[in-house]
Structure 1
Amino acid sequence: MIINENLEYAVIGKFSYGWPDIQDLHRLIPKQCELKKDCNIGLLSNKHVLIRATLLEDYVHLLSKLAFYINQQNGSYPMRTLKWDHIFNPEEETSTAIAWISFPHLSQFFRERK
């Protein structure tokens, strides 16, 4: 279902302090978040948008920063990004955190899939 609905690279954008119109977000998010390919953007609630990236690199980029600032003539709107989950509830604060971990000197033994 996730692949059929194009949710494989889905990210939730949370605006806590207002946001531009959805038509403006369609134009501003790909440009100001420096996405390399197109994405689909839709409303989830009065504070959340669903961003469906088409490129893995864009998905990782969206989740790698604490916040993006969507700038418009009438102000700047901080947007925090969260990994989409099928049990997402806009009424609850998320307890999920993304962590990138690197093990540069890890033995090859631990890298092989069995």
Structure 2
Amino acid sequence: MIINENLEYAVIGKISYGWPAIQDLCKLIPKQCELKGECNIGLLSNRLVLIKAMLLEDYVHLLSKLAFYITQRNWSFPMLTLKWDPMFNPKEETSTTIAWISFPSLPPIFFGKKVVFSLAAVVGKPLQMDMATKNQTRPSRARVKVEVHLLREFPKRIKIGMRRSDEVMEKWIRINYDYVPKYCKTCMIQGHNEQECYVEHPELYPTKEKVDQVVGKQSYNT
């Protein structure tokens, strides 16, 4: 059903601080988000639009940026993009996102797409290798974009084996992660965790006195 309804590469666009009319968004989003293929855009609920991309490349691009800014008549509307799934709840942000991971010191014989994807699968669903890995112009590391679940534990290394005659040589390969957003299980949103949550820790909320102190220090330093 997901494939039949063209929802395989569906993305939620969450627009803050007001938003243009849906007719305008249908024209602005493909152009300003630099989508290469066709897409279908519709209003899902208040502040939420459903973007049904047709290309994997556009799907990855939409989920790879922290936010897009949709501009209309000198107004700019920030749009957060989230993965859509059949159990999508407008009151909760998904814990699934996209992140770059890399394998430093991976032997060049492991740079094929099938091998890199099989290694990346221990983290999440592999989607795309970067150009340097694809062209093998950076033999120091392989880099791949992966769909990850923020509530799962991220493995820090993976073991590979290389056969030499009748002997198998094993080697641990470290897994490096680029920026991965935090997720708060209390607020059900991306961007912070429970340790930084104002609901869990109201004492962290910036009071007027704290804001005045910060502003005062900045003014003094300048």
TM above 0.5, yes or no, is yes
1:104: how far off?
A: 5.4
Greater gyration radius: 2
Provide the residue aligned with 2:94 in structure 1: 94
Which consecutive residues of structure 1, in runs of 5 or more, have no partner in the other structure? none
| Larger relative contact order, structure 1 or 2 (CA cutoff 8 Å, min sep 6) | 1
Q: Does 1:76 align with 2:80?
A: no
Could you list the structure 1 runs, at least 4 aligned residues long, displaced by more than 6 angstroms after superposition: none
Moved more, 84-93 or 30-39: 84-93
User: Does the CA-based 8 Å contact 2:42-2:51 persist in structure 1?
Assistant: yes
Q: Looking at secondary structure, tell me which structure has more helix per residue.
A: 2
Q: Does 1:11 align with 2:23?
A: no
1:94: how far off?
A: 3.4
Three-state SS of the structure 2 residue aligned to 1:102 is strand
Q: Relative to 1, partners in 2 of residues 1:90 and 1:37: Cα closer, same or farther, differing over 3 Å? A: same
Q: Distance in 1 between matches of 2:26 and 2:93?
A: 25
Q: Distance in 2 between matches of 1:75 and 1:106?
A: 47
**Aligned residues: percent identity?**
77
Three-state SS of the structure 2 residue aligned to 1:49 is strand
- Structural mapping, 1:31-46, within 5 Å: 31-46=31-46
Q: RMSD of aligned C-alpha atoms? A: 2.1
1:78: how far off?
A: 0.3
- Under a length normalisation based on structure 2, what TM-score does the superposition of the two structures give? 0.47
Q: Note the alpha carbon deviations across 1:26-58, whole angstroms, 9 max, x for none.
A: 100000000111110011110110000111111
Q: Distance in 1 between matches of 2:67 and 2:56?
A: 19
Q: Distance in 1 between matches of 2:104 and 2:20?
A: 42
For these two proteins, the number of residue pairs brought into alignment is: 113
Q: Looking at secondary structure, tell me which structure has more strand per residue.
A: 2
Which AA in structure 2 matches 1:15?
Answer: I
Q: Note the alpha carbon deviations across 1:59-113, whole angstroms, 9 max, x for none.
A: 11101100000000051100000011111110223333322212254353x9286
- Under a length normalisation based on structure 1, what TM-score does the superposition of the two structures give? 0.88
Provide the residue aligned with 2:115 in structure 1: 111
Three-state SS of the structure 1 residue aligned to 2:63 is helix
Which consecutive residues of structure 2, in runs of 5 or more, have no partner in the other structure? 119-222
